[in-house]
Amino acid sequence: MEYSLDTDLRYLKGVGEKRAALYGRLGVFTLGDLLRHYPREYLDYSHPEPISAAPFGETCAVRARLVSKSGEQRIRKGLSLFKALATDDTDDLYLTFFHAKYTVAQLKEEEEYIFYGRMEGKFTHREMTAPLVLSPQGEEAFFPIYPLTEGLSSRAVSASVRQALTLLQGHIGETLPPQLLARFELCGLEEALRDVHFPPSQQALDRARRRLMFEELFTLSLALSQLKSNSHRQTGAPMSPVELSGFLGLLPFSLTGAQRRAIEETCADLTRPSPMNRLIQGDVGSGKTMVAAAAIWFAAQNGYQSALMVPTEILAEQHYATLARLFHGSGLSVALLTGSMPLREKKLARERLAAGETSLVIGTHALIQEEVAFSRLGLVVTDEQHRFGVAQRTALSQKGSAPHVLVLSATPIPRTLAFIVYGDLDVSVIDELPAGRLPVKTYLIDPAKRQRACGFIRKYLDEGRQAYIVCPLVEQTEESDPGLLAAEEYAEKLAAREFSGYRVGVLHGRMKSAEKDRVMRRFAAGEIQLLVATTVIEVGVDVPNAVVMMIENAERFGLSQLHQLRGRVGRGDVQSHCILVSQSAAPRLRAICRTTDGFAIAEEDLKLRGPGDFFGTRQHGLPLLKIADMAGDVALVKTTQEAAQWLLKEDPSLSRPENRPLGAEVERMLSQVSAG
């Protein structure tokens, strides 16, 4: 049989139907997918320690000879263990394995192994429980640890990858043109794939990772550049300039300078022949909705309808209340359209929309249903746009003829990353808070001070205010870190003890949408005084009466996520507080106490976090990057953007023979985006 990158994984020896289904859960279906399923980390056993020098309580590698091993011992039903003794001829190491019949059977007495695990015991008795056992004869100094699913081990994935590399040796085609490899001193693809899985040295691993990260970011830059150039078509909603004094006269307050600038940029886009694609980026409470309102008013003066799509019904109702009040008496009619509205009301809203009697419709995914039709849709606005896939935003835009698009986001993104994340959008930043808005005071405390913090919260509840407590988990499971608090159990405990007699509610992502909405409505109405929640409240309804937020296990959240959560309080004119509870006094947690500037925090997050998912969750509509980290690899992001611009000048259609494989990769990535 001839093997290629497109060969189904089932044909790999030792995989078969059952294991292929497990790989399928990870998005791995072919040999090519398998080679691009990169290790998430490596165990470095290049410098094993003598047993006596291995530090207690730390994970390390020791080289030792196996002296003896015991047979299987049954502790209780379903649990068996094996004991073994190893030595480096100076000290002994006692080993315990659970459920490891196969591993122990492979161990041979008098053979030397590397044991990798946590060193425990005492100076006179050193032991490791469930260590990883490695052969010291291997060429590589690193053992790859992969993203896994239940039923697959890193050892099994590693064996499959090694087999695939052997079968495909000499048959892995290069995707980058030769002049690019030379210009940026990149190794070939086959070498990079081999060394990223089985690096013989740190230097080889760095070289392989740089090549693969470059390719991924470079392809993404090319794809986003093409998206941006494709969007420069003719709009079906041409608009003429309008004096904004009519809109400004509707406002009961003065706009900030940043809001005025964003409105001017947006309205200038609306008068251009190509459709606007603009992102309004600003902190929670910075006034993005008023920028959207100006664009909606501008479109109405030109005779066009607008649609505002938001992720939840309660948010849709809140926007409806705000904008209906703002536009009252201005001649703009505002309608609400959500899935839970009575059928008669929905039908009437759709009829008025189709007849052109409605200037602005605000709704959820209900807006993209087939039966919803517009008379003259000219502007599409999406709020918290990263909560929608590209396909959903496109479906709404297709209700009109190439309408203008305005997207709003409260997720602060470092300016260095804005292009790569929003490659097809122009960006306006609102970096000022409205006058009179008090910055939230933020404190970092250790768990020993939790009781005092609860007393602080009770003081505000007694004054008629409300508060949030955020936990990292929904519920405790056997796999959970026992030090992490879970919303369900914690809410019960607080209601029975520290907040006995207060109205405590719980909210988390596993609840059904209707139940989540019901809890948020009760909180917004003041029926719940203290809401114990997970990060599901990150994008939530505006509750100005909520003035305290306590975040448990704060070290488990990224800075940008902590900032988003903190933005749920400080929405009114009362001084608000955010309390971070953590055993860790990490510099990044102290950094968030010093500033409330979301963009400064995002830049700090970028510096401190290094590799990892900077955004907490993937930006919907962007292809999932497998190895590049946009937050940790800013210099490489810039380099690949410049390289993409250079190549597109040389060969805009990527049609030259040496660029065709790259063109195919760009097409594949664009198809992922359009499927988002």
pLDDT computed for residue 383 by the predictor: 85
Which pair of structure tokens corresponds to residue 194?
Answer: 């081999």
In a domain, residue 648? The reply is no
Regarding whether 518 and 390 lie in a shared domain, the answer is: no
Same domain, 372 and 504: no
Positive or negative torsion for Cα 127, 130, 136, 137: positive
Mean pLDDT of the chain: 86
Query: Domain boundary at 595, 610, 629, which?
Result: 595
Q: Are β-strands 466-470 and 504-507 bridged in parallel, bridged antiparallel, or unpaired?
A: unpaired
**Which of residues 418 and 658 earns the better pLDDT score?**
658
Examine the domain organization and report whether 258 and 390 are in the same domain. yes
What pLDDT digit, counting tens, does each position of 252-300 carry?
888 999 999 999 999 999 999 988 888 888 877 788 999 999 999 999 9
- Tell me the C-alpha distance between 144 and 41, whole Å: 6
137 pLDDT band (50/70/90 cuts)?
A: low
**Residue 613's pLDDT is what?**
39
Q: Is residue 629 part of a domain?
A: no
Single out the residue of 109, 112, 78, 80 nearest to residue 96, CA to CA.
80
Please measure the distance between the N-terminal and C-terminal CA atoms of the chain and give it in whole angstroms: 35
**Number of residues that make up the chain:** 676
Percent of the chain, pLDDT > 70? 88
256 and 306 assigned to the same domain: yes
Question: 170-187 burial, b for 16+ CB within 10 Å, e for fewer?
Answer: eebeebbbeebbeebebb
Assign residue 395 the CATH number of its domain: 3.40.50.300
Same domain, 469 and 561: yes
Local confidence band at 538 (pLDDT 50, 70, 90 cut-offs):
low
Give the pLDDT mean for 345-355.
96
Same domain, yes or no: 265 and 348: yes
The pLDDT of residue 481: 63
85, 501, 588 from 526: Cα distances, Å: 63, 15, 34
* Position with higher pLDDT, 397 vs 350: 350
- Nearest one of 603, 612, 598, 621 to 675, comparing CA atoms: 621
pLDDT at 97 over 80: yes
What would the mean pLDDT of 192-198 be, rounded to a whole number? 95
Nearest residue to 328 (alpha-carbon basis) of 217, 249, 424: 249
In a domain, 332, yes or no: yes
Total of domains in the chain: 4
Residue 355 and residue 383 share a domain: yes
For 141, 349, 444, 598, 599, the CA distances from 611, given in Å and listed in that order, are 22, 48, 25, 20, 19
pLDDT of residue 619: 40
> Strands 73-76 and 79-87: what pairing?
antiparallel
381, 507: one domain: no
Give CB contacts under 8 A, 24+ apart, made by 181-188: 183/643, 184/214, 184/639, 184/643, 186/210, 186/211, 186/214, 187/211
397 shares a domain with 319: yes
What's phi and psi for 263, nearest 5 deg? -65, -45
Residue 618 has pLDDT above 80, yes or no: no
- Model confidence band, residue 600 (pLDDT cutoffs 50, 70, 90): confident
The secondary structure element, H or E, covering residue 101 is helix 101-106
**Residue 619, in any domain of the structure:** no
Bridging pattern class, strands 441-445 and 277-282: unpaired
Angle, CA 115 vertex, CA 114 and CA 121 arms, to 5°: 140
210 part of a folded domain: no
Pairing of strands 125-129, 92-98: parallel
Asked whether the beta carbons of 407 and 281 are under 8 A apart, the reply is no
Burial (Cβ within 10 Å: 0-12, 13-18, ≥19) of residue 594: exposed
CATH number at residue 102: 2.40.50.140
pLDDT value at residue 480: 55
For the segment 422-472, what is each residue's pLDDT rounded down to a tens digit?
555 777 888 777 777 788 999 999 999 999 999 999 999 999 999 999 998
Which of residues 572, 595, 618 is at a domain's end? 595
pLDDT greater than 90 at residue 592: no
Give the mean pLDDT of 168-195. Answer: 94
Residue 560 pLDDT greater than 90, yes or no: no
Give the three-class secondary structure for 120: strand
pLDDT band with cut points at 50, 70 and 90 for residue 336? very high
Given 107, 134, 161, the domain boundary residue is: 134
| More confident position, 417 or 259 | 259
Residues 113 and 250 in one domain: no
Give the SS3 label for residue 147: coil
For residues 631-645, give the mean pLDDT: 77
**More confidently predicted of 314 and 374:** 374
**What's the pLDDT at 676?**
45
How do residues 5-61 score in pLDDT, each as one tens digit? Answer: 999 999 999 898 999 999 999 989 999 999 999 998 888 887 888 998 888 888 888
Task: Quote the CA–CA distance of 161 and 662 in Å, as a whole number.
Answer: 24
Range of the domain at 34: 1-44+147-172
CATH number for the domain spanning 151: value is 1.10.150
| The pLDDT value given to residue 611 | 31
* pLDDT at residue number 505: 95
pTM above 0.85, yes or no: no
Q: Which helix (H) or strand (E) holds 467?
A: strand 466-470
What confidence tier does 390 reach under pLDDT thresholds 50, 70, 90? Answer: low
Which of 604, 467, 541 lies closest to 593, judged by CA?
A: 604
Q: Is the pLDDT of residue 614 over 50?
A: no
pLDDT at residue 675 tops 80: no
pLDDT exceeds 80 at position 599: no
With cut-offs at 50, 70 and 90, classify the pLDDT of residue 616. Answer: very low
Question: Between the CA of residue 575 and those of 511, 554, 570, 669, what are the distances in Å?
Answer: 32, 22, 7, 47
Q: Identify the residue with better confidence: 616 or 120.
A: 120
User: Would residue 141 be called left, alpha or beta, if left means φ above 0 and alpha means ψ between -120 and 50 degrees?
Assistant: alpha
In a domain, 508, yes or no: yes
């003259």: which residue's tokens? 376
Question: CB of 402 within 8 A of CB of 633?
Answer: no
Based on the domain organization, do 448 and 563 belong to the same domain?
A: yes
* 261 and 404, same domain (yes or no): yes
Distance CA 583, CA 452 (A): 16
Percentage above 90 pLDDT, the chain: 48
Asked whether residue 388 carries a pLDDT value surpassing 80, the answer given is no
Query: Helix 313-327 vs helix 288-301: angle between axes, to the nearest 10 degrees?
Result: 60
pLDDT above 90: residue 578: yes
Whether 669 maps to a domain, the answer reads: no
pLDDT attached to residue 190: 96
Q: Give the rounded distance of the alpha carbon of 578 from its chain centre.
A: 23
Residue-wise pLDDT tens digits, 469-523: 999 888 766 555 666 788 899 999 999 999 999 999 999 888 888 898 899 999 9
Residue type at position 151: G
pLDDT attached to residue 615: 37
Domain annotation covers residue 542: yes
* pLDDT higher than 50, residue 140: yes
In the DSSP assignment, the letter for residue 554 is G
